[in-house]
Amino acid sequence: MKLNRKWLNEEFVDLSNVSDKEFVETLTVFGQKVETYERMDAEIKNVVVGKVLSMVRHPNSDHMFICQVDVGQSEPVQIVTGAQNVHEGDLVPAALHNSWLPGGVHITKGKLRGEVSNGMLCSFAELGLTQNDLPGAYADGIWILNDEDCKVGEDINLVIGNDDTIVDFEITNNRPDCYSIIGLAREAAAAFGKTMKHHEPVVHGSNAGSIFEHLDVEVPAANLCNRYSSRMVANVKIGPSPKWLRQRLRANGGRPLNNIGDITYDVML
């Protein structure tokens, strides 16, 4: 059972001042054995949000561009790219000199057809993301960050949601109450003597009329079923889930699909 600490801290019990080592050791002592834990940002280093200030054609290539990119430093850096979907003013992921990408890819400065390139502009795939993580993003070019609510020089891990630790618990069969995020949050709150925040579900009604205009409910064995509740959802439009939900599912080992499938998975967790 995987638990991402960022979700735990934000919604259930704030343990942000507790180190990862202390967290896993304490939960293990309290009976929840931790198999492994890892930082989601461990593989991506020195990749920041950059703003393309200018682009000129590469003199020795018919498809490359020489870009001056503001990466939040005292001066812009020059990066050569062959991507065709980048324009002046775009925000883009910039892997600077001596940066690391998933899979152990090491980026250093060098020359591309005689012109200095102090890094690389990245696609979302090069950052370990998929089309499910970023529905609507252009798959065959640089990831354009204009709509991602980020700023120049910001660590790309913050944009992706990788500023998190994933703790993998080995849940034994006698503890089914811990097969959920809420169950593990309850354990964490007890272990650290903290008050847990509980969320009361809120169901918003509508003016669609009585549900009995659309269905009938019959309970043949009333002695076995004292109460039966039903609710109908209509006019649902299938589309991408919001960013926070996609990131939350990815952190817990899930694969974002759409707003219907993702919210069901989220409730199960």
Look up the pTM and report it: 0.80
pLDDT given for residue 213 in this prediction = 79
CATH topology (fold) of 2-39+168-192:
Phenylalanyl-tRNA Synthetase; Chain B, domain 1 (3.30.56)
Q: Which of 96, 102, 98 is nearest to 120 (CA)?
A: 96
Q: What is the pLDDT of residue 13?
A: 95
Residue-level pLDDT at 251 = 83
Mean pLDDT by runs of 10 across the 269 residues of the chain is: 91 94 94 92 97 96 95 96 94 97 96 94 94 82 93 96 93 89 93 90 74 80 83 79 84 78 56
Helix residue ranges, H only, the chain: 5-11, 20-29, 156-160, 181-192, 243-251, 259-268
24: DSSP letter: H
What local confidence, expressed as pLDDT, does residue 116 receive? 95
Domain ranges (residues) in the chain:
2-39+168-192, 45-160, 211-268
Q: What is residue 265's predicted lDDT score, i.e. its pLDDT?
A: 52
Model pLDDT, residue 240: 81
Q: What is the pLDDT of residue 264?
A: 59
Domain 45-160: which CATH class?
mainly beta
Separation of alpha carbons 251 and 109, rounded Å = 32
